[in-house]
């Protein structure tokens, strides 16, 4: 009697598993979890992998990728996989910091613009239009150069050039919320605009803010790597991903392709993981695509 019961339970489980994986919400949650795990490992890479591979070993210099050194070694015998993980971890932390600052600026300006209206709204819209009228990459480079480069110039340049899209999106969302019945009733009851923004509007902006914050990461990471590559970002003694790519350029003509290809592919995978995570959260929060 037990054998037929076990077979029946197994068949029932087999029928349920395809249904679980065919559900769009379940697939989205699994994709979010996978990307979050990958990015968490990269963020904590320096603690997980240690610094043993960063030591100079001239006997092992310029080795192609092997099982012992998956990304090969550089001209000083340092393990490129260890250097890449350390560089990605640093780039992700810089991206986290700058994207967070930019998202907070976008939240404040977008909310104030739509809530206060009038001259405040016109002034903020004018600032956004000015930033959009300038070439983005050129503006980032000019600001970093004017501030003397380094960590301070890098963070400020990326922070003040990545908030405009999110601010415009949050402003539009606030304008839509302001036209709702419960906000209109709260205004007629005598509540101030700032009170309405704090108690009625800001809680509804959390999903859009989180998605916008995550989608800012890829841009912040790539611009950090780009500025560092050009010598306007992190100092050369720090194993940042931009410095690794910049140093590897002089060795490409000698056939040491892995010095640039492997870190570059790792950077693209990290950026793509953030993009997938942001798009998945957007699909999860959107009522039109969250079910099915």
- Residue found by looking up tokens 């070439």 in the block: 135
Classify residue 273: in a domain, yes or no. yes
Classify residue 68: in a domain, yes or no. no
Classify residue 265: in a domain, yes or no. yes
Question: What spatial distance separates the first Cα and last Cα of the chain, rounded to whole Å?
Answer: 38
pLDDT of residue 5: 52
Classify residue 141: in a domain, yes or no. yes
Structure tokens at 11: 């068949």
Mean pLDDT value across residues 194-222:
81
Q: Is the pLDDT of residue 52 over 60?
A: yes
Positive or negative torsion for Cα 131, 134, 137, 142: negative
pTM: 0.76
Classify residue 284: in a domain, yes or no. yes
Classify residue 112: in a domain, yes or no. yes
Number of domain units in the chain: 1
Q: What is the CATH number of the domain that holds 205?
A: 1.10.3720.10
Lowest mean pLDDT segment, chosen from 25-34, 137-146, 176-185, 210-219: 25-34
Domain assignment of residue 277, given as a range: 94-292
What's the mean pLDDT when you consider all of the chain? Answer: 79
pLDDT, one tens digit per residue, over 110-149 is 888 887 778 888 999 999 998 888 888 888 888 888 888 7
Express as a percent the part of the chain with pLDDT over 70. 88
pLDDT of residue 61: 84
pLDDT of residue 13: 44
Give dist(CA 144, CA 94) in Å, integer.
15
Classify residue 75: in a domain, yes or no. no
Q: 1: pLDDT confidence band, cut at 50, 70 and 90? A: very low
pLDDT of residue 16: 46
Q: Is the pLDDT of residue 255 over 50?
A: yes
Q: Is the pLDDT of residue 7 over 50?
A: no
Classify residue 224: in a domain, yes or no. yes
What would you measure as the largest C-alpha separation in the chain, in angstroms?
81
């Amino acid at each position: 009697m037990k054998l037929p019961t076990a077979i029946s339970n197994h068949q029932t489980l087999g029928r349920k598993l395809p249904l679980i994986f065919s559900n769009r919400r379940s697939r989205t949650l699994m994709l979010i979890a996978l990307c979050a795990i990958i990015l968490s490992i990269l963020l904590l890479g320096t603690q997980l992998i240690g610094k043993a591979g960063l030591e100079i070993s001239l006997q092992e210099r310029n080795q192609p990728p092997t099982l012992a050194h998956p990304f090969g070694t550089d001209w000083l015998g340092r393990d490129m996989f260890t250097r890449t993980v350390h560089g990605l971890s640093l780039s992700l932390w810089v991206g986290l910091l700058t994207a967070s600052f930019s998202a907070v600026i976008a939240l404040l300006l977008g909310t104030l613009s739509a809530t206060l209206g009038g001259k405040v709204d016109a002034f903020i819209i004018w600032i956004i239009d000015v930033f959009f009228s300038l070439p983005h990459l050129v503006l980032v480079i000019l600001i970093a150069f004017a501030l003397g480069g380094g960590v301070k110039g890098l963070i400020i340049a990326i922070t003040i050039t990545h908030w405009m899209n999110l601010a415009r999106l949050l402003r539009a969302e606030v304008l839509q919320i302001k036209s709702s019945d419960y906000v209109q009733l709260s205004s007629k009851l005598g509540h101030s605009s700032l009170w309405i923004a704090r108690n009625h509007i800001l809680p509804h902006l959390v999903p859009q803010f989180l998605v916008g914050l995550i989608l800012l990461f890829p841009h912040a990471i790539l611009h950090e790597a780009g500025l560092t590559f050009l010598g306007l970002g992190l100092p050369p003694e720090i194993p940042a991903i931009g410095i690794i790519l910049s140093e590897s350029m002089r060795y490409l003509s000698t056939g040491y392709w892995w010095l640039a290809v492997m870190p570059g592919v790792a950077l693209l995978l990290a950026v793509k993981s953030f993009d997938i995570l942001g798009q998945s959260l957007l699909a999860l929060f959107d009522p039109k695509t969250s079910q099915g």
